[in-house]
Amino acid sequence: MLLVTGCRGQLGTELQTLLGDRAEYADQDKLDIADEQAVKAYFASHDVDCVINCAAYTNVDQAEDSPEAADRVNRLGAELLSRYGRRIIHISTDYVFDGTGHVPYREEDPVNPVSVYGRTKLDGERAVLRYAETALIVRTAWLYSHVGRNFVKTMRRLGSERDAVGVVADQIGTPTYAADLASVITKLLPGMQSGSKEIYHYTNEGVCSWYDFAVAVMELSGYSCKVLPLTTSEYPSRAQRPAYGVLSKMKIRRDFGINIPHWRDGLKRCLRKLEQ
């Protein structure tokens, strides 16, 4: 049996669509992944072959003021699922890097998170690599979908309400449509080698700034709202963001032979779903 944790989030929702009754699904109400007794009891009473851990504390700014809460989900939850489960696919983030690079980050590049969120996600990765029998860690970035709170939905709301909106133009990365990441995860499952522990990067293809991403959302949504470029210093936030978070996908393409859609293609498909 497959178990998908964080099943009501963006990625978890897409995995439910793809996997259907081939998996069990748990949110915090059904299974608190940071409660050791609850995790131990769940695995004792369910024949779980592999966990796809989509659960995460993702409020980057709030994590600065609530490090214990972020650590509980991002590090301890990942550790417990790895200790009591057989196999795990664990979702991580580009925030494990400091963003000072200028070429796409490879899986083996040095990590140096600059936020509580990034540090707790890195601690989660390390726990998975330490405790899991078999593990795949998939780092992704700028995730969005038709559900939940995300940049695309925020821009569409603002685009329908305002004549102009300011968006940071000096943070560079790659948007990732959650449906594309979910599809890739289903392709990784059959290729998991017993006893292996690997890290992979996956985002959509291409590179852009948040400003470029916002311009595309407005354009493809048919909104006349003007997007104004801002610097990071003009839009201060509680947590520091990586200025450059582009991830290299060479390893996942090589090992699994997957085709990766461009981010604008993913955005078009997401917008069609939002407009249905």
Mean pLDDT of 10-29: 96
pLDDT higher than 90, residue 68: yes
Distance CA 237, CA 60 (A): 10
pLDDT at 133: 97
Q: What long-range pairs does 180-185 form, CB within 8 A, spacing at least 24?
A: 180/204, 180/260, 180/261, 180/266, 181/11, 181/14, 181/138, 181/140, 181/143, 182/11, 182/14, 182/15, 182/17, 182/18, 183/18, 184/138, 184/252, 184/256, 184/258, 185/15, 185/52, 185/89, 185/138
Residues 6+ apart with CB under 8 A from 231: 168, 169, 170
CA distances from 210 to 8, 86, 137, 176, 234 (A): 25, 38, 25, 12, 14
pLDDT at 118: 98
pLDDT at 254: 96
**pLDDT per position as a tens digit, 99-108:** 999 999 999 9
pLDDT at 66: 97
pLDDT at 194: 94
pLDDT higher than 90, residue 36: yes
pLDDT higher than 90, residue 4: yes
Q: What percent of the chain has pLDDT over 70?
A: 100
Could you report how far apart the first and last alpha carbons of the chain are, in Å?
A: 33
pLDDT-derived band at 236 (thresholds 50, 70, 90) equals confident
Mean pLDDT of 161-180: 97
Mean pLDDT of 176-196: 96
Which amino acids are annotated catalytic? 117
Q: What percent of the chain has pLDDT over 90?
A: 99
0.75 exceeded by pTM: yes
Phi-psi region of 214 (alpha: psi -120 to 50; beta: other; left: phi over 0): alpha
pLDDT-derived band at 129 (thresholds 50, 70, 90) equals very high
pLDDT at 235: 84
pLDDT higher than 90, residue 17: yes
